Amino acid sequence: MKIRDTNTRKLIFDRSGLIAFSVQLKKLRHEAGVSQSQLAYEAGISLSQIARIETVRINPTLSTVFAIARALDIPLTTIFNFSLSDEKKTEKYF
């Protein structure tokens, strides 16, 4: 395990992980028969935020994921029921 220098912390955007999350979210939303607009309303977040999550343009916070899970009335284990690829492709920004 490599120790990181805390003075050089960077925000991480794990594109492959966010793609897997996006695919799972879309699947669950469609299974529930809920539009992006309905999900946004029920979760108390903007429609554009749902769209950006589903198109992998943003990295949602855990609080946002919690709100989405509650709006879909599903457990967190269901929303995170996907596998990450073995690839460690990470795009770093900032």
Give the total number of structural domains in the chain: 1
Evaluate whether residue 5 is within a structural domain.
no
Report the mean per-residue pLDDT for the chain: 87
Q: Is the pLDDT of residue 91 over 70?
A: no
Q: What does the pLDDT look like over 50-59, one tens digit per residue?
A: 999 999 999 9
- The answer to whether the predicted template modeling score (pTM) of the entire model surpasses 0.75 is yes
Evaluate whether residue 32 is within a structural domain.
yes
* Domain carrying residue 71: 15-81
Evaluate whether residue 8 is within a structural domain.
no
CATH code of the domain covering residue 22: 1.10.260.40
Evaluate whether residue 19 is within a structural domain.
yes
Q: What is the DSSP letter of 7?
A: G
Q: What does the pLDDT look like over 7-17, one tens digit per residue?
A: 666 778 899 99
Q: What does the pLDDT look like over 35-54, one tens digit per residue?
A: 999 999 999 999 999 999 99
DSSP 59-78: ---HHHHHHHHHHHT--HHH
The predicted structure's pLDDT at residue 81: 96
